[in-house]
Structure 1
Amino acid sequence: MYCTSCGMYLTAHEKVCSNCGKSIYERPKQRFVPPADIEYEKGFLLKSQREECFIGENYEYYHSQWNHLEDRESKLSWNWAAFLFGPVWFGFRKMPAPVLAIMGMLVGLDILAYLSDYQHPYGRVFTVLILTLGLSLWILMGLLGNYIYFKYAETRFSQMNRSSMTPLEKREWLKAKGNTSWAGAFLALVLYLLYLSVTIYISI
């Protein structure tokens, strides 16, 4: 939406215009009517507006988490969805690279466990170590999920800034590249269940 006083593009959660400071509920002396075919590049380039277009669902949560990461210059902040659902959450947020990387690491750990001789005392210790690494991987997903998502969004913002698209096209592009995807979550879940099936079959 637009500020009725100055015409600045505002996100859905903004109650006060970041440009002129007027409340969206304040009745202006002369109402601003945005042109039908013109979007305001300056307004859209505000960080919060790019993030809102890209994140979509649960914008307030991720916006807050990303700000904390920047303020503390840290990579760590807890994400329960990433910890509980792992690659499925990454698929839901349209991040295929982390999904494939996680599956690759899980397969690698399983191969190491398969090659170790469990009957040998050292083999048992090695197997326990591998299981511990597997659990640590899920904990790391919970700790680094927000940071990975933040860096992925920054990559998309950089791609958008280098393009010659109009502001309206940029909004639509960010919504298409970001937001959520149940199809992506389903594909990640299928991939994970396939991995589990193969692992169980080999271990029998």
Structure 2
Amino acid sequence: MTYSNEDSLFCSKCGKSNDVGSLFCSNCGNSLKNEEIVEEVSTTQENLNKNQDVKTEYINDSSKNYTDEELSLFLEKNQLYYMEKFRVIESTGSKVSWNWCSFLISGYWMFYRKMYIQAILYIVANFVLGLIPFIGWIGNIALWICAGLFGNYFYLEHVKKQFCEISCADSSNRDMLIQKRGGTNIVIPIILLIIPVVIGIIVAMFFAALGTMSYYYY
């Protein structure tokens, strides 16, 4: 191998010091240029191998067992928004990422994104806090804010869990399972919106009928 510094090149054959830019050794005539090229190629190949190892390590990250195409298929709607939010969460390690939908319509949004367990727990917690005067109301406000701050993180964890369960299934049905477990469910949020309206109408009709009976009675 030819060793070099800023002022000289050393022949790998006899060790003679030569001027920088010399093509042949002044002592034995050994080609210095060819060995320098080999050294540069070897260094370049070594750097490429290191880059490839880093790339392979990133691809084989166990925390991400799905491709971007599969993630897009799972999300179904607003893919670009959530993929960007997930990328920021994973690259920075921060769980905080504001989501207006998870803040304003927390439980409905969770049902819409098929996070059923999270939605039920949120509604139960909201209901229990609502029974506690003052402190419970403050707790409800804190719960809304937390839903807005951590909604994207909770959704990312939900996505990872679903893909982990999908990976254990038959690979031939992978796309079908992704579509089935992912996507959105608009039916449950609509039902939850209709139920209070229906109850309100029934209660209003009941008191109206009660008032009419009282009028005739008197």
Q: What is the TM-score with the length of structure 2 in the denominator?
A: 0.57
What residue in structure 2 maps to residue 144 of structure 1?
Answer: 150
Which runs of at least 4 in structure 1 moved beyond 4 Å after TM superposition? 190-196
Task: Give the counterpart of 2:131 among 111, 127, 145.
Answer: 111
What residue in structure 1 maps to residue 190 of structure 2?
Answer: 186
Count of aligned pairs between the two proteins: 137
Higher relative contact order (CA 8 A, sep 6+): 1
Task: Give the counterpart of 1:74 among 86, 94, 118.
Answer: 94
The answer to whether the 8 A contact 1:99-1:188 is kept is no
Q: Which ranges of structure 1 fall in alignment gaps of 5 or more residues?
A: 1-44, 114-127, 197-204
Greater helix content = 2
1:175 is displaced (CA, Å) by: 1.0
- 2:210 matches 1:170: no
For 2:197 and 2:105, the matched residues in 1 are separated by: 12
Q: Which ranges of structure 2 fall in alignment gaps of 5 or more residues?
A: 1-64, 201-218
Structure-2 change in CA distance of 1:191 and 1:63 (3 Å): farther
Give the aligned residue type for 2:186. W
What residue in structure 1 maps to residue 115 of structure 2?
Answer: 95
Fraction of identical pairs, as percent: 23
1:194 is displaced (CA, Å) by: 9.2
For 1:195 and 1:64, the matched residues in 2 are separated by: 41
Structure-2 change in CA distance of 1:111 and 1:46 (3 Å): closer
1:153 is displaced (CA, Å) by: 0.5
**DSSP 3-state at the match of 2:131:** helix
Structure-2 change in CA distance of 1:67 and 1:186 (3 Å): same
Q: What is the TM-score with the length of structure 1 in the denominator?
A: 0.61
